Amino acid sequence: MSDDDFMQDSDQEQYDFEYEDDDEEETGDVGIENKYYNAKQMKVDNPEEAIEEFLGMPALEEEKGDWGFKGLKQAVKLEYKLRKYDKAVEHYTELLTYVKSAVTRNYSEKSINNMLDFIEKGAEDDKAYHCMEKFYSKTLESFQSTNNERLWLKTNIKLARLWLERREYTQLVKLVRELHRACQTEDGRDDPSKGTYALEIYALEIQMYAETRNNKRLKALYQRALKVRSAVPHPKIMGIIRECGGKMHMSEENWKEAQTDFFESFRNYDEAGSLQRIQVLKYLVLTTMLMKSDINPFESQETKPYKNDPRISAMTDLVEAYQQNDIHRYESILQNNKDVLSDPFIAENIDEVTRSLRTSGVMKLIAPYTRFTLAFIAKKLNISVAEVQDIIGFLILDKKLDGKIDQDKGTVEIENRNDADRTLAMQEWSSAIGSLCKTVLDEGEGFKTDDSQSLGGTAMAGLLSTSTRSGAPPSAPPSGGRSKHPKKGLGFGARGAPTTFG
């Protein structure tokens, strides 16, 4: 079976596309047809009476046919909506008896898929989930006997999504293994004709390992999924795979690869019309800050329409404050938009961004001081004293700051080596000049006036003539080239005397 055959009538409605029942015009008893449409009009105002009307339709047919199938289908949906789960399962079981001969294969497949999607979207509690399991079980039993592999695969993938949603990983792993075998040829290789289903299965596994933080297994499956070339997957499937890949790269602090995956995920979700595109766009903005990039993530053609979207305005403001190194605005945005941290993934990773910005703010603030209090820095940055102490401690351990913290007094003393280093350099430079002068004077060659004046003599002659012009006596300094009285008042700039604040 070719992949095109598998894609025919594909189960797109499971990805948030809604379809009305495709009740094509049928030739048959006019009385049954009228009864069906009258019952449909009663669905909203009198659902109980509508159910009775729908359930009465099979008895009006001499043999099982389309109208009985349609009537049962409508009755099952209403019963499920009214939480009459036992009745819904009973009549769904009766409905499945029609698919073998009463209706065409394509029509029955499409109807059953729509039915299962309806049940899946309406599940809100444990009873509904238990009912959904029975629907899947009944469907698999029915279509296994008819050897309908396509519907068997689709139904099992729906069941696997149910296990994933309920975090029942043991059952999910067993089912996924069975599905993988069904998508392989007899020699154990991936069946190219089932590449689309294989990608859906990979997506389920990748989500499971992302949730359980099994990065080793996740990475292997992610790479295998990207190598599948014999499929034309629904964009939402690729959005899921890329999103999980981005989270995997984030856990490895591989910001560049994470940014690429989140962008591709956003593009696919956007194409599928999935609301998840907004959340992934937030992740994309987050990676921009982690990369310390100056590029605005909303400059691309795909993301530009969402720049002023109120759902991501807080993240947009955050990245602007970060790129401008405005710690006060950044902290204010976080304080006024608590919903930003409601996503566990953002809450887990934004700490790194916040720490980076706060560290930069601390370094900028303490630059003029050699001694300050933790409380002073905390007040200036509007953060706690404990957070300031953590940042200062990190800077000291990372050798970006040479200082000591006095926890009892709540103070920090910076040991400024800049002046000492410059003084030592000046001493070495003065010593080198002195040695040069001594060498020139001792050898005496520098004072020769012949045509072959040496370089040292020329330099010294220049020094003497300069001294003469300035009014100083043109005599040589005492032995050793040093003055008797050392020069006073040498200024080395920098911080000078220690400065204290706070």
Alpha carbon distances (Å) from 299 to 180, 193, 308: 41, 39, 12
Question: For the CA atoms of 39, 116, 163, 247, what is the dihedral angle to 10 degrees?
Answer: -110
**Quick check: is 18 in a domain?**
yes
Partners of residue 371 on adjacent β-strands: 413, 500
**Quick check: is 70 in a domain?**
yes
**Quick check: is 258 in a domain?**
no
CA angle 393–395–401, rounded 5-degree value: 110
Range of the domain at 427: 368-444+497-502
Looking at 120, 140, 162, the residue that finishes a domain is 162
- The pLDDT tens digits along the chain (502 residues) read 444 443 344 444 444 443 444 444 444 466 788 888 888 888 888 989 999 989 988 888 888 888 889 999 999 999 999 989 999 999 999 988 888 777 787 888 888 888 888 888 877 777 888 888 888 888 888 776 666 778 888 888 988 988 898 888 998 999 999 888 888 888 777 788 888 888 999 999 999 999 998 989 999 999 988 888 777 778 999 999 999 999 999 999 899 999 999 999 999 999 999 999 999 999 999 998 888 887 778 888 888 888 888 888 888 888 888 888 888 888 888 888 888 888 889 988 888 888 888 888 888 888 888 888 889 888 888 888 888 888 888 888 888 888 888 888 888 888 765 554 555 567 677 778 878 877 777 665 555 545 544 444 444 444 434 444 444 444 444 434 444 344 433 333 334 444 455 5
Q: Any idea what the CATH number is for the domain that residue 396 is in?
A: 1.10.10.10
Q: Is 489 left (phi over 0), alpha (psi -120 to 50) or beta?
A: left
Separation of alpha carbons 22 and 146, rounded Å:
23
Separation of alpha carbons 327 and 171, rounded Å:
48
Separation of alpha carbons 125 and 66, rounded Å:
33
Looking at 124, 141, 162, the residue that finishes a domain is 162
How many domains does the chain fold into? 2
**Quick check: is 19 in a domain?**
yes
Q: Any idea what the CATH number is for the domain that residue 44 is in?
A: 1.25.40
Separation of alpha carbons 175 and 68, rounded Å:
34
**Quick check: is 345 in a domain?**
no
**Quick check: is 263 in a domain?**
no
**Quick check: is 467 in a domain?**
no
Separation of alpha carbons 377 and 55, rounded Å:
75
What's the number of CA atoms in the CB half-sphere (13 Å) around residue 453?
Answer: 14
**Quick check: is 219 in a domain?**
no
Looking at 135, 162, 189, the residue that finishes a domain is 162
